[in-house]
Structure 1
Amino acid sequence: MRIVPAIILAVAIILAPILWYVFPILVPMEENFEGPAIDSGARIEIEMLSQQIEHLNNKIDRMASELSQVQIGGVTLLQDYDDAADSFGYDSSTPNEIIDAYAQVVLIAERDKVNDGLQLARPSFLRETFGLPREDLNNDCQSMTNERLKSKLVLEEVGPVRVRMLKPAVESLRDVFDNIQRTDPDLYARINTAGSLCVRFIRGSTTSASAHAYGLAVDLNIDGVLDTLGDGKTQLGLTILADFFRQEGWVWGAAWGREDSMHFEVSRNKLEEWLDQGLL
C-alpha cells in the first residue's frame, strides 16, 4: 500500500523548512558584545551542520520527485514541490549565509588573550639576534642587505598567496594554510594578502625595525578587503585564521593596543626553536 510512505514523505517535506527556521531560535547567539563575537571552533561546527542540512535538502528534493508520481484515488499527491515549499517560506536556492559571512566585520572577543602562551619577538630581540635588516632604514620599503637574513629570503607561492619571507617562516606558513585547506576549504579559497616583506621602520619609530622588515610577518585579509586599523573589529574569517596561526606559533596583531588584525608574525617561541635547530 503506497499511501503510508507517501504520507511519511509529505510530512518530511513539511517539517524540513520548519526545522530550518526553528534551529536558530533554539541555539541563540552570544550577546556579550554590541556586535557578534565568533568562536572559531563553534563556527566550524556550524559550517559542518550547514552542509548536513544541505544534504538533507537534496534528499527532500528526491522524495518530492517520488511524491509527484504517487497517486491516491487517481489524484497526484504532490504536483508542484516548489509551490509547496514556497508556501512555508523555504527557498532551497538561498546562498549559504555562513560561508558568505567570512568577510563580515565583527568585534574581537577577548583580544588581549588571543596570543596567550606566545611571546612577541620584540624589535630589541630581533636586532640583538640578527642585527638590522639594513643599516640605512627609513619609512619606505627597501631591499634587505643583511647577508645572514638575505641568504634565507625566498619568494614563493604559499597556499593561496605569494610571499617573500625567510624560508623557515614560509614553510611554517605553508603548514598553516594546509591545515586551513583541509578544515575549511571555503575560507581557504577567500584568503588574500596585503603584503609580507617590507624593510622599513615600525610606523612612528625612527629606531626599531618592523617584523615585516625581517621577513617574519604577513598581512592577510578576506576577499581583498582591508581591515580598519585600531577599531577593535575584524573580518570573521580572520578570527578563524588566528586559531590556526596560534597553533603553529604565530602572533596575531589583534592583541596590540592599536589593533592590527591583518597582521600575523612569527612568535619569539618559534624563532628560538628555529635558532636551536640551526634554521636561522
Structure 2
Amino acid sequence: MRTVPAIILGVAIILAPIIWYVFPIIVPIESDFEGPAIDSGARIEIEMLSQQVEDMRNQIEQLSLEISRSQSGGPLLQQGADGSDDYGYDSTTPNDIIDAYAQVVLIANRKKVNQQLQLANSTFLKETFGLPREDLTDSCQSMTNPRLESLLILEEVGPVRVRMLKPAIDSLRTVFDNIRRTDPDLFARINTAGSLCVRRIRGATSSASAHAYGLAVDLNIDGVLDTLGDGKTQLGLTILADFFRQEGWVWGAAWGREDSMHFEVSRDKIEEWLEQGLL
C-alpha cells in the first residue's frame, strides 16, 4: 500500500524544480515595484501569489520528508484533528491573503524608496525657520515660533485629523484625494498615530524633527502600529508611499532604522513652497 503514496510523492519531488524556479520567472514575485501608485491592485496580486508560492514550497518540503520516511520504512505522516500534520503544517489554512492591506511584507529596496527626493534634515529646518520653540524637551509642547505658529492649523484631512502647517495640510489633502479616487477601499482603512509633536530629537540637545515643525505625519492601516526597525510594513503603507512620493513627501522606511509609519515633506517641496511664498 506504500507504492501509490510513494509514486505521488515522487511526482511532487520531480515537479518541485518547476514550481521553485520556473514559476517565479514567469511571475516575478519579489521584484522592486516602481510603477505608478494607482497599481495597488497589482501589488496585492503579487503578494497573494507570493503567499501561494510559499505555501506550495511548504507542502513540497513536507512531501519530501514523507517520501523519505516512506522509503526508509517509517510511518507516513498523520494529520491531526486540527488539520496539522506531524510537523505542524496546517493543510487547512487558505492560500489567499485574508486582509491584503494589513498584510505585513518586507519592504523591497527600501533604501531607495524615496528616489531623488531630498530629506529636510534638522539642520536645514533650523537654518530655514529657527527652532519651533527655544526650550525643547523630550516631551511634546506647544509651538512658540511666531512664523510657524501663524501657519499651524488643526483640520480633518481625508480620513484623519491632524495639526500641521497649512501648506503641508493642503499637500496632504491632495495625497488623500488621489488615494480616495484611485483606491477607496485603502482610503477607508487609513489611520493616524500622530502629527505635530514639538520636542527635541531623542539624544539631541537642540535639534527638532519634522514632526516638531508640523511637516510630518505617522500613518497606519486599521490603527495597527508598525514594528519599528524590522524592515517590514503593512502592504497598504507601501501603496500609500507611492502617492506621497509623487506629491514630494519622503517615507521613513528608508531610514537606517526603518520607520514606515512616518511620512514627511521633502526638502524639495519645502524649497518650492518658500519660492512661492507659502512658508
Structure 1 length-normalised TM: 0.69
Find out whether 1:226 has 2:228 as its counterpart.
no
| Matched residue, 1:269 | 268
Whether the 8 Å CA contact 1:99–1:186 is kept in 2: the answer is no
Paired with 2:43 and 2:209, the residues of 1 have a C-alpha distance of 38
Paired with 1:277 and 1:98, the residues of 2 have a C-alpha distance of 45
Whether the 8 Å CA contact 1:254–1:261 is kept in 2: the answer is yes
Find out whether 1:44 has 2:44 as its counterpart.
no
Q: SS at the partner of 1:221?
A: strand
Shift in Å at residue 220 of structure 1?
0.1
Per-residue displacement from partner, 1:168-217 (whole Å, max 9, x unpaired)? 00000000000000111000000000000000011232221011000000
Structure 1 counterpart of 2:41, which letter? I
Whether the 8 Å CA contact 2:136–2:199 is kept in 1: the answer is yes
Find out whether 1:171 has 2:170 as its counterpart.
yes
Whether the 8 Å CA contact 2:30–2:108 is kept in 1: the answer is no
Specify whether residues 142 and 46 from structure 1 end up closer, same or farther in structure 2 by C-alpha distance, changes over 3 A only.
closer
Segments of 5+ residues of structure 1 without an aligned counterpart are 1-24, 49-94
Structure 2 counterpart of 1:124, which letter? T
Q: SS at the partner of 1:100?
A: coil
| Matched residue, 1:188 | 187
Specify whether residues 239 and 38 from structure 1 end up closer, same or farther in structure 2 by C-alpha distance, changes over 3 A only.
farther
Structure 1 counterpart of 2:272, which letter? E
Specify whether residues 46 and 142 from structure 1 end up closer, same or farther in structure 2 by C-alpha distance, changes over 3 A only.
closer
Specify whether residues 204 and 149 from structure 1 end up closer, same or farther in structure 2 by C-alpha distance, changes over 3 A only.
same
Find out whether 1:103 has 2:129 as its counterpart.
no
Whether the 8 Å CA contact 1:249–1:266 is kept in 2: the answer is yes
Whether the 8 Å CA contact 1:38–1:236 is kept in 2: the answer is no
Q: SS at the partner of 2:178?
A: helix
Whether the 8 Å CA contact 1:232–1:259 is kept in 2: the answer is yes
Q: SS at the partner of 2:155?
A: strand
Find out whether 1:238 has 2:242 as its counterpart.
no
| Matched residue, 1:148 | 147
Per-residue displacement from partner, 1:2-39 (whole Å, max 9, x unpaired)? xxxxxxxxxxxxxxxxxxxxxxx796451579xxx897
Segments of 5+ residues of structure 2 without an aligned counterpart are 1-22, 46-93
| Matched residue, 2:248 | 249
Structure 2 length-normalised TM: 0.69
| Matched residue, 1:136 | 135
CA-based RMSD of the aligned residues comes to 2.6
Matched residues, percent identical? 77
Whether the 8 Å CA contact 1:141–1:200 is kept in 2: the answer is yes
Structure 1 counterpart of 2:173, which letter? R
Whether the 8 Å CA contact 1:179–1:244 is kept in 2: the answer is yes
Paired with 1:222 and 1:119, the residues of 2 have a C-alpha distance of 26
Specify whether residues 270 and 98 from structure 1 end up closer, same or farther in structure 2 by C-alpha distance, changes over 3 A only.
farther
Whether the 8 Å CA contact 1:38–1:239 is kept in 2: the answer is no
Paired with 2:106 and 2:42, the residues of 1 have a C-alpha distance of 20
Aligned positions of 1:68-147 closer than 5 A: 100-147=99-146
Specify whether residues 262 and 131 from structure 1 end up closer, same or farther in structure 2 by C-alpha distance, changes over 3 A only.
same
Paired with 1:130 and 1:224, the residues of 2 have a C-alpha distance of 32
Shift in Å at residue 114 of structure 1?
0.5
Paired with 2:267 and 2:138, the residues of 1 have a C-alpha distance of 24
Paired with 1:269 and 1:31, the residues of 2 have a C-alpha distance of 30
Number of aligned residues: 208
Structure 2 counterpart of 1:128, which letter? E
Whether the 8 Å CA contact 2:121–2:209 is kept in 1: the answer is no
Specify whether residues 46 and 114 from structure 1 end up closer, same or farther in structure 2 by C-alpha distance, changes over 3 A only.
closer
Whether the 8 Å CA contact 2:219–2:262 is kept in 1: the answer is yes
Paired with 2:209 and 2:176, the residues of 1 have a C-alpha distance of 23
Shift in Å at residue 41 of structure 1?
5.6
